[in-house]
Amino acid sequence: MADEKLNYGAPALEKGLDILELLARSGRPLGNRQLADELGRSKNEIFRMVHVLLRRGYIQRDESGEGMLLSNKLFALGMQTARARDLVSTAAPIVENFAEEVHQAAHLVVAHRGETVIIAAASGGADMNFSLKLGYRRPLADAHSGLVLMAFQPQAIRDRMIAESLLLMREPPDKAKLAADLDRVRREGAIIHESRDIVGVTDVVCPILVDDGRAVACVTVAAVSRRSSPPDFDAMLDRLQLACAEIAHELAGYAPSPARAEFSRRR
């Protein structure tokens, strides 16, 4: 009886899961024929499953019309777990207070399947700022927040995050250089660097570290520079470090890790 239960199958469900897992691995749009060929199934089987997954919002059509991509729905469902809700509910008011103090937009960022994902944001109350929308994604290796999230991980997890990220990039960076950059970020404890895309915006990024020195998330400030009052980035980072330490304390009790203690001494 136990063996029968273990061997029980749900073919339709398995087809749908196969499609979702293949799209997650590929990191690029796939059409019905490509899905069918990769999964060894008929095009008619795939068409029916794709129609249901599109209707339920688990996948979406690529803007170019070349095929299907995963939507944010699986991530959104994951964010409804108690652990994810705890992170957002704990960090959001602290990030909001910090953003108000520095008059700049701030974002709470986590890693998910090789990408950074913004799960909370605060505008900072200024009359002008640079803010990204919730759910905004970018390959880890192509974002300052991603570099911070990868830098503060055990080596095995870091390697997996790097591999997932590079698969999503058309022009991935040199692995040796990326590894050296991550080691430098870990030594320095944070990043202050002009935006990779936007002129006049500087990214200030600090990790939220749990007791083993691992980053569960990070906070990124998209600091807009004004001619009349250029930001003091070092002072901003000092205040951001305190905010991230406060979040860590609220999440799991504050016990300074070696990485966090070293960061504090340098600052």
Write the pLDDT tens digit of every residue in 51-74: 888 888 888 887 777 788 877 666
What is the rounded average pLDDT of the residues 187-198? 92
Helix or strand (DSSP H, E) at 193: strand 191-194
- pLDDT of 263 higher than 60: no
Query: Could you tell me which residue, 11 or 186, shows the higher pLDDT?
Result: 186
What is the rounded average pLDDT of the residues 116-139? 81
User: pLDDT band for position 22 (50/70/90)?
Assistant: confident
- pLDDT of 165 higher than 60: yes
Among candidate residues 88, 40, 136, the one with its CA nearest the CA of residue 14: 40
**What local confidence, expressed as pLDDT, does residue 87 receive?**
84
Own/partner long-range contacts of 91-94 (Cβ < 8 Å, ≥24 apart): 91/120, 91/208, 91/217, 91/219, 91/247, 91/250, 91/251, 92/120, 92/122, 94/243, 94/246, 94/247, 94/250
Place of tokens 């029980």: 8
CA distance 245 to 34: 47
**What local confidence, expressed as pLDDT, does residue 12 receive?**
82
**What local confidence, expressed as pLDDT, does residue 81 receive?**
54
Is residue 260 classed exposed, middle or buried when 0-12, 13-18 and 19+ CB atoms within 10 A define those classes? Answer: buried
Among candidate residues 150, 108, 129, the one with its CA nearest the CA of residue 240: 108
H helices within the chain, ranges in order?
2-6, 11-26, 32-39, 43-56, 73-78, 82-102, 144-151, 155-167, 175-188, 233-252, 258-266
- pLDDT of 262 higher than 90: no
- pLDDT of 10 higher than 60: yes
Q: Which CATH class is domain 78-266?
A: alpha beta
User: pLDDT band for position 251 (50/70/90)?
Assistant: confident
Q: pLDDT averaged over the chain?
A: 83
The CATH code of the domain at 2-71 is 1.10.10.10
**What local confidence, expressed as pLDDT, does residue 104 receive?**
92
Own/partner long-range contacts of 157-165 (Cβ < 8 Å, ≥24 apart): 157/214, 158/182, 161/111, 161/114, 163/114, 164/113, 164/114, 164/140, 165/114, 165/115, 165/139, 165/140, 165/141
User: pLDDT band for position 260 (50/70/90)?
Assistant: very low
CA distance 239 to 155: 29
What is the rounded average pLDDT of the residues 80-89? 67
**What local confidence, expressed as pLDDT, does residue 124 receive?**
76
Is residue 40 classed exposed, middle or buried when 0-12, 13-18 and 19+ CB atoms within 10 A define those classes? Answer: exposed
What is the rounded average pLDDT of the residues 99-109? 93
Q: Where are the domains of the chain?
A: 2-71, 78-266
CA distance 206 to 244: 7
Write the pLDDT tens digit of every residue in 234-243: 999 999 999 9
